[in-house]
Chain A
Amino acid sequence: MQQFFSMLFLIGLLFLLSILTGLLPFATPPMLIGQAIQQQAVDATGAANLVTSVVLGYRGIDTLGELSILFAASAAGGLVLGKTVRAKKAASENTGFILQAGTDLLFPLLLVAGLYIVLHGHLTPGGGFQGGVLLATAFFLPVLVRPGTSVSHKLLIVIEGLAGASFIAIGLLALYQGGEFLQPFLDKGLTGQLLSAGTLPLLYLAVGLKVGAELAGLLANLSTEQDGENDHVA
């Protein structure tokens, strides 16, 4: 009976959404704020990538909220999974020389790629979030390949906290200088250069480090089995 009503609801939803989307002005968007941003953004922020100027400039506080959501999710995840117990040294799970050597080789590559993406966020596609994920995987891969080792949680907590605090601190500094919260300051430089766009690259660096540290911690938390975990049937 419940299944029947659910199906009915779904068919209704499909019908409704199809009709609604048919009414939408597709491919001729009104773009009221979009157009205004396109005209002003390069002068206002100095970033060549308009998405970056929206993410860190026009909607900077959204990004702060997004960072906080990741932070809250990882804190809550830590609360759920409880005390982190050092992973059991499992000799049986030896992953082999080739995999280990490959990971060692991959580590610097991932690190460089991640940092590149973070630092070029204001010029090319990419930025703190995408680069941060790469950084996290760079630090997480060794843990996956060598089951005995673990990431230093102390270090991660410090990086995470300081990076997040510096994002807010940059925002508050602008406030202190007589501007508004999160207003870009510093010299905007020449659009298209690496050192341009004022504080935006700094903000993205903070985002990248925070996301990287947070996700590395989260992944390590998810992957380490705890003592007395009975569901693992080896």
Chain B
Amino acid sequence: MEQFFVFLLVIMMLLGGLAAMLLKDLLAATAATSVVSLSLTAIFVLMRAPDVAMTEAVVGAGLSALILALGLRRLGIWQLDMPVKSRQKKAGDQ
């Protein structure tokens, strides 16, 4: 059972990492980074490290994503009502 969960989580984590590197849309890439953090949180729980899991959830998935999103907003790459197409164009301009 544990084996199966770990397998799923590791696959999710690696796919998240790859997506963060390959996705054109920077906002989606940021979300993919959060996916890595979240699966890492679950892995930490399975590895009997509740303190680290909590830190990873609060800092890695929460705070870091918040900081990155604020940064994206100030960079002008992400506006709330901006369609994906124009976001990609903007990111591609860089």
Contacts and interface: CB of A to CB of B under 8 A. Distances in A.
B22 interface: no
Interface in B32-68: 50-55, 58-59, 62-63, 66-67
A219 B62 contact: no
Interface of A: 49, 51-52, 125-127, 129-130, 133-134, 136-137, 215, 218-219, 222-223, 225, 229, 231-234
Contacts of A223: 70, 73-74
A232 B58 contact: no
A184 B70 CA distance: 40
A126 B53 CA distance: 9
Contacts of B74: 222-223, 225, 229, 231-232
Nearest to A52: B51
Main secondary structure of the interface of A (DSSP, over half): helix
A136 B71 CA distance: 17
Contacts of A127: 51
B63 A215 contact: yes
A130 B50 contact: no
A231 B51 contact: no
B66 A130 contact: no
A133 B51 contact: no
A233 B76 CA distance: 7
A11 to B, nearest CB: 16
Interface in B7-45: none
Contacts of B59: 129-130, 133
9 contacts: A125-B53, A130-B59, A133-B58, A133-B62, A219-B67, A219-B70, A222-B71, A223-B74, A229-B74
